[in-house]
Amino acid sequence: MPVEDTVVLVVGSGGREHELVRQLAWTADIQKVYAIPGNAGTALLDIVENVDLSVTDVPAIVAFVHEHAVTTVLIGPEAPLLAGLSDALRAEGIVVFGASKAAAMLEASKAFAAGFMRRQGIPQPQYWTVHSLEEALEVIKERDPTTYVLKADGLAAGKGVVLPQTTYEAEEALQLMFSGEGFDAAGKDGVVIQERLHGPEVSAFAISDGTNVILLPFAQDHKRLLDNNEGPNTGGMGAYTPLPSYIVSEDQTARIHAIAAQSITGMANEGNPYQGVLYIGLILAEERGGAPVVIEYNARFGDPEAEVLLPALSESDVDVAHLLIQTAHGTLPAIHPSFKTSVLTVCLAASGYPQTPRKGDLIEGLENTYENVIIHHAGTKKVDDTTLTNGGRVLYVTGFGPTLDEAAAHAYAAIGENAIHFEGMQYRTDIGYQGRTPNTTVV
Ligand code: AMP
Ligand code: GLY
C-alpha cells in the first residue's frame, strides 16, 4: 500500500532510533527523514538530517514539524511520551506512532500498571503498593528479603528495581527511595513491593493502533554487564530473536498472546486507548508452573530489542516503515509475523560503563564492510572524519543468518582488534547463549 507520508520525523538518539531511521531511509516513497537529535549513525544515511533539539522540548518539536511539513512522527523513547509530545502533535493533526501520555503511565507508574493488571485479570506477581517508609517496613518485616523485589513507582532510567539479599539492604534502598535521595527520586511518592519470581525472562512487543494488535516474535535481552549474567545491571548488553521453542512453548506463547490482547483491549475499555508499541516484560515463572507473568510494561520498543526485531521483520518480508506508519494512521494490517532469519546484537560499551562511562575514545574499523552485519550507533559522535565514543552504550553490532549460531558468528566476526574496536571496549561474548550451540563463542 502506498503511503502518502513522505516526510517523517524520528525522535530519539539511541540504537533503537538508528534502526527506525534505517528502516525509513530505504523505503521508496519516503523522501525525507529528520532525526531529533539522531546520532552519528543516522547522519550517515542519505535522506536523513539530524536536528539538534531536545526530545522533551514539545513546543520546539511542534514548531519544527510545521515548519518542515512533517507528516508523521515516530517517537522512540519514553521521556517525550511523558512530556506529552504525542498528545501535542495529535492535537495539531499530525500522525504519530507513540503512546499518549495517559497510556504511557503503564511504564511511568508501577502502581498504575499493577492496578491496571489487577482490574484486567492479567497475571502479575503478588504485590503491595506502599506510600511511606513505615508502611514499607511493615510489609517486609516478617519476610525473607530474597522473596521480594522493590520497585520505585516512577521512572528511574531503568535503575528503579532492587533485588535485596539482606533486610539491611532492603531497608537502605527503601530509605533512599522514600527520601528521594536515590533512584532519580522515583520512589518519593510510592514503592511497589513485588513477589520475586524465577524463570527465563521474555520481551514481548505488541504493536497496536488502539484496537488491533500484532504481537511480534519474542526477544531476550541481557541486562548484566558480564558473561554468565554477572556484574552490574546495564541498559542492555545484547539481544536476540527469535527464541527457540524449548524456551517458550506453544502453550506459553498462546498465553502471552492472550496477555497482549487483554492489555490492549483493557486500555481501550478503560477509556485510555494504547497506540504505538507496548513492551511486555515477562517471566516464565517456575513458581506458577512456567506460566508467563508480567513484571513490567514499557511504552516503547526495547533497546536493544528493536535492533534485532526490526531487521528480523524486514528480513521476513514485512515492510517495517509502512507497518509503523499504518499503525500511526490507525489502520494496522492483520499480519502474523514469524521470523525466517535469526538476528543477534552485541553491545560495545565504553570503558567505565555503567558507572562512569568514558567519552572521546576513537572507534576503529567502522569503514570496513562486514558480511551480514548492521552496525547500530548508540553513543557515538562524529568529529571531522573520525567517530568517537560519546556515551555508555556506544555501538550495537548486529548479525543475522539462517540460524542463531550463524547470526552470532557474523556479529562477533565484526568485533575485535582487526575489526571494530576502541580503547577500553567492553562486551559480552555469550549473547544468545540461550539458543546457541554450546562452545561456539567466537571471540
Ligand atoms: P524492570 O526495571 O522492571 O525491567 O526490572 C529489572 C529487572 O529486575 C528485570 O529484568 C528482572 O530481571 C528483575 N525483576 C523485576 N521484577 C521482578 C520480579 N517480580 N521477580 C524477579 N525479578 C524481577
Ligand atoms: N531492553 C530493555 C529496555 O529497553 O528497557
C-alpha Rg value of the chain to the nearest Å? 21
Region 86-90: mean pLDDT is 98
What's the 261 CA to ligand 1 centre distance in angstroms? 22
The span from the CA of 182 to the CA of 171, in Å, is 13
Q: What is the pLDDT of residues 135-181, one digit of tens each?
A: 999 999 989 999 999 999 988 776 789 999 999 999 999 999 998 88
Q: In which band, very low, low, confident or very high, does the pLDDT at 26 lie, cut at 50, 70 and 90?
A: confident
Q: Using the predicted structure, report yes or no on whether residue 259 has a pLDDT greater than 60.
A: yes
CA-nearest residue, atom 2 of ligand 2? 302
> Ligand 2 center to residue 390 CA distance, Å?
20
Residues 403, 237: Cα–Cα separation, whole Å: 20
Could you tell me which residues are beta bridge partners of residue 152?
Answer: 191
Cα 281 to middle of ligand 1, angstroms:
8
Question: Is the Cβ–Cβ distance between 110 and 151 less than 8 Å?
Answer: yes
pLDDT for res 124:
98
Would the CA dihedral through 51, 373, 201, 390 be positive or negative?
A: negative
- pLDDT of 382 strictly over 80: yes
Cα–Cα dist 19/398, whole Å: 11
Place of cell 522493590: 150
Q: Are 228 and 430 in contact (CB under 8 A)?
A: yes
Give percent above pLDDT 90 in the chain.
89
> So what's the pLDDT on residue 157?
74
Point out the ligand 2 atom lying closest to the alpha carbon of residue 305: 1
HSE-CB of 130 using CA atoms within 13 angstroms = 23
Per-residue DSSP letter, 38: -
Average pLDDT (345-368) is 96
Residue 2 scores a pLDDT above 80: no
Q: Nearest-CA neighbor of 358 among 309, 418, 308, 424?
A: 424
Binned at pLDDT 50, 70 and 90, residue 189 comes out as confident
CB neighbour class for 333 (10 Å; exposed up to 12, middle 13-18, buried from 19): middle
| Average pLDDT value for the chain | 94
Considering the entire predicted model, what is its pTM?
0.95
Residue nearest to atom 8 of ligand 1 (CA): 161
C-alpha cell of residue 288: 506458577
Give distance in angstroms: CA of 395 to centre of ligand 1: 25
Pick the ligand that lies closest to the CA of residue 347. 2
Q: What is the pLDDT of residue 443?
A: 47
pLDDT over threshold 60, residue 442: no
Average pLDDT over residues 80-103: 97
The closest alpha carbon to 277, from 258, 307, 297, 295, belongs to 297
Is residue 278's pLDDT more than 50?
yes
Ligand nearest to the CA of 156: 1
Quick one: pLDDT band at residue 441, thresholds 50, 70, 90? Answer: low
Residue 439 has what pLDDT?
59
Specify the pLDDT at position 392.
Answer: 95
Residue closest via CA to ligand 1's atom 4 equals 296
Smallest CA separation from ligand 2 atom 4, residue: 302
CA distance 15 to 34: 16
Average pLDDT of the residues in 379-392: 93
Atom of ligand 1 nearest to the CA of 158: 2
Domains of the chain: 7-97 (3.40.50.20), 100-125+197-340 (3.30.470.20), 126-195 (3.30.1490.20), 341-443 (3.90.600.10)
pLDDT band at 440 (very low <50, low <70, confident <90, very high): low
Could you tell me the distance, in angstroms and rounded to a whole number, from the CA of residue 49 to the centre of ligand 1? Answer: 37
* Probe target for ligand 2 pocket from 305, 309, 431, with the most ligand atoms within 8 Å of CB: 305
At a CB cut-off of 8 Å and minimum separation 6, what does 187 contact? 152, 153, 154, 156, 160, 174, 176, 177, 178, 180
Task: Verify whether ligand 2 is closer than 6 Å to residue 78 (CB atom).
Answer: no
Determine the 3-state secondary structure of 110 from DSSP: helix
Instruction: Evaluate whether 174 touches 136 at the Cβ level (below 8 Å).
Output: yes
Mean pLDDT across the stretch 186-203?
93
**What's the sign of the alpha-carbon dihedral 108, 114, 120, 122?**
positive
User: What pLDDT digit, counting tens, does each position of 199-252 carry?
Assistant: 999 999 999 999 899 999 999 999 999 999 999 889 899 999 999 999 999 999
Q: Does ligand 2 lie within 6 Å of residue 236's CB atom? A: yes
- Under the banding of pLDDT at 50, 70 and 90, the label for residue 1 is very low
Across the range 18-43, mean pLDDT stands at 94
What gap in Å lies between CA 235 and CA 278, rounded to an integer?
18
Per-residue pLDDT averaged across 29-39, rounded?
95
Give the Å distance between the CA of 282 and the centre of ligand 1.
Answer: 9
Residue 86 has pLDDT above 90, yes or no: yes
With the C-alpha atoms ordered 245, 259, 240, 209, is the resulting torsion angle positive or negative? positive
> According to the model, what pLDDT value does residue 181 have?
85
Tell me the pairing of strands 148-152 and 161-162: antiparallel
Which one of the ligands is nearest to 296 CA?
Answer: 1
